[in-house]
Amino acid sequence: MSRPVQFNNTVKFEGIPEGYMGEGYMATNFEKVVSMARKNSIWPLPFATSCCGIEFMATMASHYDLARFGSERVGFSPRQCDLLMVMGTIAKKMGPVLKQVYLQMAEPRWVIAVGACASSGGIFDTYSVLQGIDQVIPVDVYVPGCPPRPEAILDGFMKIQDLVNAEGLRRRHSDQYKDLLAGYGIQ
């Protein structure tokens, strides 16, 4: 006889996109379905460099569980991942390496800069630290904090989910996106 669930029993369900339902079929907006699928199954690549990486480990652990957002599987190969999570101080010598990892990711790809060092260099305003990863790759969401609490990382992740939901299927082929990448020197 199993014990009934006492806590967390108001679970939020992801709604079905509105559409026309019938006997064995449903007609709906393709973009909505694809966006819903994408946003609930993001596979992140933790590019964890320093202290923010430890906070990420806490986020992935059971208390703050990132897996309930669909990221049960974190990949460490850029070729298999959607979201590049850059967590920690990136030195100027590491910049080209980070760019190489970003280039190997397949579209659609998103980047989240976790922590003060990845967003802007943090307190390390010196000759060796890259003052923000947006000097080498385009970033979608910045999570401030030194280090940010796991709740803050989850909040940033949820904002990525909102971006994924609202993106649409044509963005990656648009001229604006191509111009954005050209600004970083990426073809």
Footprint on this chain of another protein (rule: CB under 8 A): 92-93, 121, 125-129, 131
Q: Minimal distance in Å, beta carbon 125 to another protein? A: 5
Q: How far is the CB of 96 from another protein (least distance, A)?
A: 9
Rounded distance between C-alpha atoms, residue 84 and residue 110, angstroms: 6
CA end-to-end span of the chain, whole Å?
A: 60
The nearer residue to another protein, 92 or 159, going by C-beta atoms, is 92
DSSP code string of 31-59:
HHHHHHHHHTS--EEEEE-SHHHHHHHHH
Min CB(9)–another protein separation in Å: 48
Who's near 153: CB < 8 A, 6+ residues apart?
Answer: 55, 56, 59, 66, 114, 143
Kindly state the smallest distance separating residue 93's Cβ from another protein, in Å. 5
* Smallest distance from another protein to CB 184, Å: 16
- Residue 83 or 94 having the CB closest to another protein: 94
Residue number, 121 or 150, with CB nearest to another protein: 121
Residues in the chain: 187
Q: Are 92 and 128 in contact (CB under 8 A)?
A: yes
The one-letter amino acid at 34: V
Q: Is 104 or 131 the residue whose CB approaches another protein more closely?
A: 131
Residue 30: strand, helix, or coil? helix
Judged by CB, which is closer to another protein: 32, or 92?
92
